[in-house]
Amino acid sequence: MLFIEIISWLFIVAGALLGIAGGIGIHRFPDFYSRLHAVGITDTLCAAMFLVGLCMQTGVSIASLKLMLIFIFLFFSSPTATHALANAALLGGLKPELDEEYHGHCFDRHPD
Amino acid sequence: MKHNLILRVIAKYLFPVIALFAFYVQFHGDYGPGGGFQAGVILSVAFILYTLVFGLDTAEQVLSPGVLRILACTGVLLYAGTGVVTMLFGGNFLDYDLLALNPIEGQHIGIMLIELGVGVTVSAIMLVIFFAFAGRERS
């Protein structure tokens, strides 16, 4: 069982590193969209890694089934929340911060 | 409205899941964590999600404010009625032991009825408050 223990802790540590990466991203990136990009992508995989690692810790039982259900719920709801946030910001008129050469180039159209 | 396509699809799939989880929390509350208040809030969250995505008018076609008021009163009546029934059986208010021949079974039935009343009232009241705030700019 040492093998499963090691694999599960690898998953949990990878999830923790992803969470820390998302936290650094939301702290350091310049504008709303890039912050959302940093945390929206890492967040889902972070939760998934944690849940897979915890599933291996519990073994095959009702608790791991519940963890898998939580995983399915997060797998659908977390990207949807990110999409809704970005969509609302874009419709609300928040412009992404762009490099000089791209100004007025790719985001000049109104989103509808 | 085509911007909300992803939200609409996901909300449609999430609604039954959230409602099912609310009933799980409600009826599993005497064996695990949970209970009437949490279950009521989760069930009302399902309807609030529906309202946020599909609009207030559609949600009020599903659950009209009159039905919500009746449901809110029904929960309180269920709670108080259980207490009054135990008084009619000769005990104190909410003395669950008298609800069945066996005191343990009576406790089971009593707490189930109480939590059901709490759940119905809490979900209805949460939705009444939410609809009142959401419909403020319409009137």
- Per the prediction, chain A carries an average pLDDT of 86
Would you call B10 and A76 a contact, using CB atoms and an 8 Å cutoff? yes
Question: Is some CB atom of chain B closer than 8 A to the CB atom of A84?
Answer: yes
**Which residues, in sequence order, are CB contacts of A102 under 8 Å at separation 6+?**
none
Q: Which residues of A touch B3 (CB under 8 A)?
A: 87, 91, 111-112
B42, part of any domain: yes
Domain limits at B22?
2-134
The reported pLDDT for the residue numbered B19 is 94
A98, part of any domain: no
Radius of gyration of chain A (CA): 18
The predicted complex's ipTM stands at 0.71
B18, part of any domain: yes
Which of B9, B10, B13 is best to mutate for the A interface (most A CBs within 10 A)? B10
Would you call A76 and B13 a contact, using CB atoms and an 8 Å cutoff? yes
At B37-72, the pLDDT tens digits run 999 999 999 999 999 888 888 888 888 889 999 999
Domain limits at A60?
2-92
Instruction: Say what angle helices A2-28 and A32-58 make with each other, to 10 degrees.
Output: 170
Would you call B6 and A83 a contact, using CB atoms and an 8 Å cutoff? yes
A34, part of any domain: yes
Domains in chain B, number: 1
Going from the C-alpha of B3 to that of each of A87, A95, B32, B81, the distances in angstroms are: 8, 17, 40, 49
B139, part of any domain: no
Q: pTM of the predicted model, to two decimals?
A: 0.80
